[in-house]
Amino acid sequence: MSNTEADLVAETVYYIAVRRLQNTYADIVTRRAWAELPSIMDPGCTLSLDLGDRTRELRGPGEIAEFISGALERFSFFEFVVLNSVVDVNVPDRSATSRLYMAELRQNVSDGRRTNAFGVYHDAMSCEDGTWRFLRRHYASYSRTAIEGPENEQVVFDLPVIPLDAI
Protein backbone atom coordinates (compact mmCIF):
# COMPACT_ATOMS: atom_id res chain seq x y z
CA MET A 1 0.00 0.00 0.00
CA SER A 2 1.37 3.42 -0.89
CA ASN A 3 1.77 6.15 1.69
CA THR A 4 -1.21 7.96 0.17
CA GLU A 5 -3.34 4.83 0.36
CA ALA A 6 -2.24 4.26 3.96
CA ASP A 7 -3.21 7.85 4.81
CA LEU A 8 -6.63 7.35 3.20
CA VAL A 9 -7.18 4.16 5.19
CA ALA A 10 -6.07 5.90 8.41
CA GLU A 11 -8.34 8.86 7.65
CA THR A 12 -11.30 6.52 7.15
CA VAL A 13 -10.56 4.62 10.35
CA TYR A 14 -10.23 7.90 12.30
CA TYR A 15 -13.43 9.26 10.74
CA ILE A 16 -15.34 6.18 11.90
CA ALA A 17 -13.81 6.52 15.38
CA VAL A 18 -14.89 10.18 15.57
CA ARG A 19 -18.44 9.33 14.49
CA ARG A 20 -18.47 6.58 17.12
CA LEU A 21 -17.36 9.18 19.70
CA GLN A 22 -20.15 11.56 18.64
CA ASN A 23 -22.75 8.79 18.76
CA THR A 24 -21.49 7.67 22.17
CA TYR A 25 -21.96 11.21 23.47
CA ALA A 26 -25.55 11.24 22.16
CA ASP A 27 -26.17 7.87 23.81
CA ILE A 28 -24.71 8.98 27.16
CA VAL A 29 -26.81 12.15 27.23
CA THR A 30 -30.01 10.38 26.15
CA ARG A 31 -29.54 7.73 28.87
CA ARG A 32 -28.37 10.38 31.35
CA ALA A 33 -25.40 8.12 32.10
CA TRP A 34 -23.21 10.90 33.50
CA ALA A 35 -20.65 8.54 35.06
CA GLU A 36 -19.64 7.52 31.50
CA LEU A 37 -18.81 11.06 30.35
CA PRO A 38 -15.15 10.96 31.52
CA SER A 39 -14.55 8.02 29.16
CA ILE A 40 -15.10 10.28 26.13
CA MET A 41 -13.82 13.64 27.40
CA ASP A 42 -10.32 14.77 28.21
CA PRO A 43 -10.10 15.75 31.91
CA GLY A 44 -9.50 19.36 30.82
CA CYS A 45 -12.25 19.37 28.18
CA THR A 46 -13.97 22.73 27.89
CA LEU A 47 -17.53 23.43 26.78
CA SER A 48 -18.41 26.93 25.62
CA LEU A 49 -22.17 27.43 25.50
CA ASP A 50 -24.04 30.05 23.47
CA LEU A 51 -27.72 29.46 24.18
CA GLY A 52 -28.90 32.45 22.17
CA ASP A 53 -29.91 34.45 25.22
CA ARG A 54 -26.99 33.59 27.52
CA THR A 55 -23.50 32.10 27.48
CA ARG A 56 -21.55 29.90 29.84
CA GLU A 57 -18.10 28.27 30.07
CA LEU A 58 -17.66 24.83 31.64
CA ARG A 59 -14.48 22.83 32.32
CA GLY A 60 -14.08 19.10 32.82
CA PRO A 61 -16.50 16.18 32.45
CA GLY A 62 -17.81 16.58 36.01
CA GLU A 63 -18.81 20.22 35.62
CA ILE A 64 -20.23 19.54 32.15
CA ALA A 65 -22.26 16.56 33.42
CA GLU A 66 -23.59 18.56 36.38
CA PHE A 67 -24.77 21.37 34.10
CA ILE A 68 -26.44 19.10 31.52
CA SER A 69 -27.98 16.88 34.19
CA GLY A 70 -29.55 19.88 35.89
CA ALA A 71 -30.88 21.22 32.59
CA LEU A 72 -32.52 17.87 31.76
CA GLU A 73 -34.33 17.44 35.09
CA ARG A 74 -37.34 19.30 33.72
CA PHE A 75 -37.89 16.70 30.98
CA SER A 76 -39.69 13.38 31.46
CA PHE A 77 -38.55 12.40 27.96
CA PHE A 78 -35.31 13.48 26.33
CA GLU A 79 -33.47 12.22 23.28
CA PHE A 80 -30.30 13.68 21.77
CA VAL A 81 -30.44 13.15 17.99
CA VAL A 82 -27.42 13.58 15.71
CA LEU A 83 -28.70 15.13 12.48
CA ASN A 84 -25.49 15.56 10.51
CA SER A 85 -21.77 15.81 11.07
CA VAL A 86 -18.83 17.11 9.07
CA VAL A 87 -15.44 15.84 10.20
CA ASP A 88 -11.94 17.03 9.27
CA VAL A 89 -9.31 14.45 10.23
CA ASN A 90 -5.61 15.25 10.72
CA VAL A 91 -3.93 11.85 10.35
CA PRO A 92 -0.36 12.81 11.38
CA ASP A 93 -1.57 14.55 14.56
CA ARG A 94 -4.20 11.90 15.35
CA SER A 95 -6.70 14.70 15.81
CA ALA A 96 -9.92 15.92 14.27
CA THR A 97 -12.36 18.80 14.26
CA SER A 98 -16.04 18.57 13.49
CA ARG A 99 -19.31 20.39 13.15
CA LEU A 100 -22.22 18.35 14.48
CA TYR A 101 -25.84 19.41 13.96
CA MET A 102 -28.23 18.01 16.53
CA ALA A 103 -31.79 18.11 17.82
CA GLU A 104 -33.21 17.56 21.27
CA LEU A 105 -36.61 15.89 21.42
CA ARG A 106 -38.19 16.57 24.82
CA GLN A 107 -41.31 16.39 26.93
CA ASN A 108 -41.81 18.61 29.98
CA VAL A 109 -42.38 17.02 33.38
CA SER A 110 -44.56 19.98 34.43
CA ASP A 111 -47.22 19.94 31.72
CA GLY A 112 -46.43 17.08 29.33
CA ARG A 113 -45.80 19.54 26.49
CA ARG A 114 -43.47 18.36 23.69
CA THR A 115 -40.62 20.74 22.93
CA ASN A 116 -37.49 20.67 20.83
CA ALA A 117 -34.19 22.42 20.35
CA PHE A 118 -31.70 22.56 17.50
CA GLY A 119 -28.02 23.33 17.85
CA VAL A 120 -24.54 22.83 16.53
CA TYR A 121 -21.38 21.60 18.24
CA HIS A 122 -17.95 22.64 16.95
CA ASP A 123 -15.52 20.14 18.43
CA ALA A 124 -11.80 19.44 18.67
CA MET A 125 -10.85 15.83 19.43
CA SER A 126 -7.69 13.78 19.70
CA CYS A 127 -6.66 10.16 19.96
CA GLU A 128 -4.31 9.03 22.70
CA ASP A 129 -3.46 5.39 23.32
CA GLY A 130 -6.12 4.35 20.81
CA THR A 131 -8.93 6.28 22.53
CA TRP A 132 -10.62 9.31 21.00
CA ARG A 133 -11.79 12.06 23.35
CA PHE A 134 -13.28 15.53 23.13
CA LEU A 135 -10.78 18.31 23.94
CA ARG A 136 -12.86 21.43 23.26
CA ARG A 137 -16.55 21.81 22.51
CA HIS A 138 -18.41 24.92 21.39
CA TYR A 139 -22.19 24.56 21.45
CA ALA A 140 -24.65 27.08 20.05
CA SER A 141 -28.43 26.92 19.88
CA TYR A 142 -29.98 28.02 16.63
CA SER A 143 -33.64 27.30 17.39
CA ARG A 144 -35.74 26.07 20.28
CA THR A 145 -39.34 25.92 21.38
CA ALA A 146 -40.23 29.04 23.32
CA ILE A 147 -42.39 29.34 26.38
CA GLU A 148 -45.93 28.34 25.48
CA GLY A 149 -48.10 31.13 24.13
CA PRO A 150 -46.35 33.23 21.49
CA GLU A 151 -47.74 33.27 17.97
CA ASN A 152 -44.51 31.74 16.68
CA GLU A 153 -43.37 29.46 19.47
CA GLN A 154 -40.13 28.34 17.79
CA VAL A 155 -37.44 30.92 18.58
CA VAL A 156 -34.74 31.11 15.90
CA PHE A 157 -31.18 32.38 16.41
CA ASP A 158 -28.41 33.03 13.89
CA LEU A 159 -26.71 29.80 12.82
CA PRO A 160 -23.11 29.94 14.04
CA VAL A 161 -20.48 28.43 11.79
CA ILE A 162 -16.87 28.18 12.90
CA PRO A 163 -14.47 27.05 10.17
CA LEU A 164 -13.16 23.59 11.04
CA ASP A 165 -9.55 24.78 10.81
CA ALA A 166 -10.29 27.45 13.45
CA ILE A 167 -11.60 25.11 16.16
Q: Does domain 3-166 have CATH number 3.20.20.70?
A: no
Lowest mean pLDDT among 33-47, 85-99, 106-120, 127-141: 106-120
Is 26 within 8 Å of 35 (Cβ atoms)? no
Residue 166 near residue 88, CB atoms below 8 Å: no
- Check if the beta carbon of residue 145 is closer than 8 Å to that of residue 115: yes
CA 41, CA 76: separation in Å to the nearest integer? 26
Question: Going by DSSP bridges, is the β-strand pair 41-50/131-145 parallel, antiparallel, or unpaired?
Answer: parallel
What is the overall mean pLDDT for the chain?
92
- Kindly report which listed range (55-69, 107-121, 142-156) carries the lowest average pLDDT score: 142-156
Please tell me the predicted confidence (pLDDT) of residue 162: 85
pLDDT for the residue numbered 167:
83
The residue extents of the domains of the chain are 3-166
pLDDT range class, residue 156, cuts 50, 70, 90: low
Give the residue among 3, 1, 2 at the shortest CA–CA distance from 91. Answer: 3
- Among candidate residues 122, 108, 107, 102, the one with its CA nearest the CA of residue 49: 122
pLDDT for the residue 40: 99
pLDDT for residue 148: 64
**42: pLDDT strictly greater than 70:** yes
How far apart, in whole angstroms, are the C-alpha atoms of residue 76 and residue 108?
Answer: 6
> How far apart are alpha carbons 6 and 3 in whole angstroms?
5
161 confidence band (pLDDT: 50, 70, 90) = confident
What pLDDT, on a 0 to 100 scale, did the predictor assign at position 74?
95
User: 6: which residues sit within 8 A by CB, 6+ positions away?
Assistant: none
Amino acid at 59: R
pLDDT in tens, 69-117: 999 999 999 999 999 999 999 999 999 999 999 999 999 999 888 999 9
Contact 137, 47 (CB under 8 A): yes
Q: Is the pLDDT of residue 155 over 80?
A: no
pTM over 0.75: yes
